[in-house]
Amino acid sequence: MSAEDVPAEEATAPSSHVHGSLGVLTLGALGVVYGDIGTSPLYSLAECFGAHGVSVADRANLYGILSLFFWSLTLVVTFKYVTVLMRAENHGEGGIMALLSLVPEPRRRIQGKRIGWVTLLVLFGAALLFGDGVITPAISVLSAVEGLKLVSPALGDWVVTITSVILILLFAIQRGGTGPIGKLFGPIMVTWFVVLGGLGLYHLAQAPQVLAAISPHYGLFFFVQHKGHGFALLGSVVLCVTGGEALYADMGHFGRTPIRLAWGGLVFPALLLNYFGQGALLLQDPSLASAPFFSMVSSPHARIALVLLATAATIIASQALISAVFSLTHQAIRMGYFPRVSVRHTSSEVEGQIYLASMNWCLAAACVLLVLVLRESTRLAAAYGLAVSGTMAITSVILFQVTRHNWKWPAWKCWSLLLLFLSFDLPFLGATCLKFLEGGWIPLLMGGVVFAIMVLWTTGRSLLRQAHQNRTVTDAVWLERVATQAPLRTAGLGVYLASSTELTPPALMTQMERIRAIPEEIMLVTITSENVPYIEDSQRLQVRKVADNYYRVTLRYGFMEIPEVPPGISAAAAQLPLRGSLQQATYYVGRESFEATDANQLVGWQETLYAVLARNSSDMTRYYALPTEQVVEIGTRLDL
């Protein structure tokens, strides 16, 4: 880690970075974005009548639960996420990190060890999504493969093994990117949603009276009848809306219009038809409550086909959270909240499609371990939902900050929207908290580890920036020292990464003070990470001559871009009267090591952990695509 990689101020960027036909993007969205919420019918209603749900699938209970399902999908997904939150996009990018970038800078300011409460809340919400990204693939694939038990009880012993193999294969194909995956999975998901709607419509025709459950009074009566137990059941009802946050986070992969079109045109109607179809089936035969989805077909051959299709759909369901974790990680890195990891773009048409190898295989290991330990989807269901509901509530609070302080809405309108969203976010969160000891601690533990890393990294970067500012001087002072001390000038061009556009970088200071020699020509390059996803090429480069043979270059990148520095330096060199060749230039990069003492703001163990994170973050030379044979590292030792 070096202080040369420091975020900068806001900038302008293109309003859209997604290209391609609407049909192809909509198909891709079906194959990536809606897998998670699209496979919820496999287990949501069954969980409501399971060990932790209501005991009898009678008419009153069925109507009450179906009413809660209908209004949850309508209010949480259709209204909150698809209608309102997808307007809160940062030049095409969505997710809680993009939402944070819309909050005015003073409200997310970081000074030393002080991190604003808005930033802390967003970091915690993002960390919870990491935990959800582990549970979603595990429960989705496991719940589908468990359908083999209904085909043949003897296959039950192979469920965990088959699930683990499928998960490993799923993560193995991520390197191809979400574009090819979406085109591959899109037709499968279209088939899946058509089957969902068709099965639901068939059973709904047998008992159409179940549609009366659309009336909200059935949901209210359910709470009156079951009191505290009815509130606890919300921890299972929330399973029908899991995937809403991933839908928002994945917006940069396909764009807002294709995602909205897919939801309203196919996904939402299919989900409603299937849930009400399951309700109609249970109205006729309440004994099927333990597995209402697979009971919608009675033929053994049809059931095998449904299990295979469901397995394919749940594999795709995992993709939504995997893609969301990739997007969130990349945004967090570029905004300075997470250690650098290697990021690879996988599409020349859609800039938001990326692959993070290290995150991919960390998720894979955690998912397989979870399946091997818990072994049953019912045990995973207890852990599911807490991370999602927590992030949902946090998103509502941050959206209030955006509407009030960025969009400048009237106070009454902002508060009304916040109270409406929290009226269902907080009950969902409270209900899932009741399942903490039953497995809810799992996503909290995983998210807590990620949150601790993000807070420590953010704090360490801020303190490192301050430490370097205390050791550096302005250009005017630097040039005066050069004139006074007259160091040896070596032939050639020296390119230095600088965290500030006004202060001399520590590597150059150290070189003159300790080595007593500096290059004949000096170019100071400042790489800024803006609070917008993408920067137009015309606004990326700024070149300034400070003195003879002393130049400053600023390269601006959005938080969704990968900063490849050499092309920018080449463009700058074309505007400067350089004598030295870039092919012969030397790139000087600062590298810090840390003394783990309690003398300064970070105590010993915190500084030790920060040093570990810094050593294991992606190398700056590789991250900025510098020519390795021309790089020289100059180290300093610091105590933060």
* pLDDT for residue 180: 61
Residue 191 pLDDT exceeds 60: yes
Domain span holding position 508: 472-638
Name the pLDDT band for 432 (thresholds 50, 70, 90): confident
Q: Which of 392, 420, 455 is the last residue of a domain?
A: 455
Q: Residue 381 above 70 pLDDT?
A: no
Task: Indicate if 424 and 510 belong to the same structural domain.
Answer: no
Query: 394: Cβ–Cβ under 8 A, 6 or more apart, which residues?
Result: 96, 121, 122, 124, 125, 128
**Same-domain status, 410 and 487:** no
Q: What is the pTM of this model?
A: 0.75
Does one domain contain both 562 and 418?
A: no
CA distances from 9 to 106, 500, 528 (A): 12, 12, 8
Asked if residue 430 is part of any domain, the answer here is yes
Residue 150 lies in a domain: yes
The 3-state DSSP composition of the chain as helix, strand, coil percent (nearest 5) reads: 65, 10, 25
The structure tokens 């839908």 sit at 247
For residue 390, pLDDT over 90 is answered with no
> What pLDDT sits at residue 11?
28
At residue 347, the pLDDT reads 54
In a domain, residue 15? The reply is no
Same domain, 166 and 294: yes
Q: Which of 402, 424, 455 is the last residue of a domain?
A: 455
Range of lowest pLDDT (204-218, 221-235, 462-476)? 462-476
Residues 405, 516 within the same domain: no
CATH of the domain at 295: 1.20.1740.10
Q: What number is the average pLDDT over the span 138-146?
A: 79
Is 367 a member of any domain?
A: yes
The C-alpha angle with vertex 386 and arms to 255 and 330, in degrees rounded to 5, equals 40
Q: What is the pLDDT of residues 536-594, one digit of tens each?
A: 888 888 999 998 889 999 999 876 677 878 888 888 888 888 887 888 889 988 877 76
The pLDDT of residue 273 is 96
What is the tally of structural domains in the chain?
2
> Could you tell me the pLDDT band of residue 620, with boundaries at 50, 70 and 90?
confident
Residues 432 and 580 in one domain: no
Please work out, in degrees rounded to the nearest 5, the angle formed at the alpha carbon of residue 140 by the alpha carbons of 100 and 193. 90
Q: How confident is the model at residue 113 (pLDDT cuts 50, 70, 90)?
A: low
CATH number of the domain at 615, please. 3.40.50
Same domain, 506 and 388: no
- Is 100 part of any domain? yes
Residues 609 and 520 both lie in one domain: yes
pLDDT above 50 for 109 = yes
pLDDT tens digits, 43-80:
889 888 865 566 677 888 899 999 999 999 999 999 99
Residues 481 and 446 in one domain: no
Same domain, 300 and 445: yes
What would the DSSP string read from start to end of 180-231?
A: HHHHHHHHHHHHHHHHHHHHHHHHHHH-GGGGGGGSHHHHHHHHHHHTHHHH
Phi-psi map region of 409: left, alpha, beta (phi>0 left; psi -120 to 50 alpha): beta
- Of 455, 486, 510, the residue at which a domain comes to its end is 455
Highest mean pLDDT among 137-141, 264-268, 432-436, 473-477: 264-268
Specify if 348 maps to a domain: yes
Q: Is the separation of the CB atoms in 277 and 199 below 8 Å?
A: yes
What 8-state DSSP symbol labels residue 491?
Answer: E
pLDDT band at 4 (very low <50, low <70, confident <90, very high): very low
Assess whether pLDDT exceeds 80 at residue 439.
no
Quote the CA–CA distance of 246 and 252 in Å, as a whole number. 11
The widest CA-to-CA distance across the chain, in whole angstroms, is 94
The answer to whether residue 7 is domain-embedded is no
Do 518 and 440 fall into the same domain? no
Q: What's the whole-number mean pLDDT along residues 281-295?
A: 88
Q: Tell me, yes or no, whether 511 and 378 share the same domain.
A: no
Please tell me the predicted confidence (pLDDT) of residue 552: 92
With respect to residue 499, please indicate whether it lies within any of the assigned structural domains.
Answer: yes
